[in-house]
């Protein structure tokens, strides 16, 4: 069984994340969505809320593709998480050149830690390349319409969390 790990904070999950998840399902039999517990980032949504969002949004993709998709919170090194879930590949989404520079360094370090785990980069589709969770949260906080950036259920969760119409 080919197992892949797609890590992130997913605070909140965006259409860009969903695009990468859907496309990653053709590469693996089991896709583990690694939800980072990163207290330094001060997430808007709790870990439990982010896990629920991922599970809800991925259910139809799993049904459509036949790929098993599971949410897996983690707080350790990415490479250790990959080992923990049995992943042979880490899947990373790229939006822009700035993403590549950071990811290039990360791959180099991860390869030094465990060269048996590969990293695969998927470019976000053009309509999703500008989407970042940080920007979505900022737009939502200021009452902007985020419906083109997040699934409807996530938009509703943002509205409830922030107490704004976004």
Positions marked catalytic: 17, 41, 95, 133
**Short-list 73, 84, 103, CA closest to 3:** 84
Residues 71, 76, 79, 84, Cα dihedral to 10°: -60
Q: Whole-angstrom Cα distance, residue 111 to residue 22?
A: 26
Task: Kindly give the pairing relationship between strand 89-94 and strand 30-36.
Answer: unpaired
Through-space distance between the first and last CA atoms of the chain, rounded to whole angstroms: 41
The strand order across the sheet containing 68-74 reads 68-74, 30-36, 3-8, 89-94, 118-123
CA dihedral for 103, 105, 108, 109, sign (positive or negative): negative
- What are the backbone angles phi and psi of residue 24, rounded to the nearest 5°? -70, -25
């Amino acid at each position: 069984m080919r197992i892949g790990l797609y890590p992130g904070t997913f605070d909140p999950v965006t259409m860009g994340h969903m695009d990468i998840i859907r496309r990653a399902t053709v590469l693996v039999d089991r896709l583990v969505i690694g939800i980072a517990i990163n207290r330094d980032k001060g997430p808007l949504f709790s870990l439990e809320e982010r896990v629920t969002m991922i599970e809800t949004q991925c259910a139809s993709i799993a049904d459509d593709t036949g790929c098993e998709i599971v949410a897996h919170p983690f707080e350790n090194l990415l490479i250790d998480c990959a080992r923990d879930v049995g992943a042979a590949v880490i899947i990373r989404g790229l939006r822009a050149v700035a993403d590549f520079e950071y990811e290039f360094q990360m791959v180099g370090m991860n390869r030094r830690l465990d060269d048996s785990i590969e990293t695969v980069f998927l470019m976000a589709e053009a309509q999703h390349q500008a989407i970042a969770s940080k920007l979505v949260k900022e737009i939502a906080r200021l009452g902007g319409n985020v419906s083109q950036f997040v699934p409807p259920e996530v938009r509703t969760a943002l509205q409830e969390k922030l107490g704004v119409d976004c």
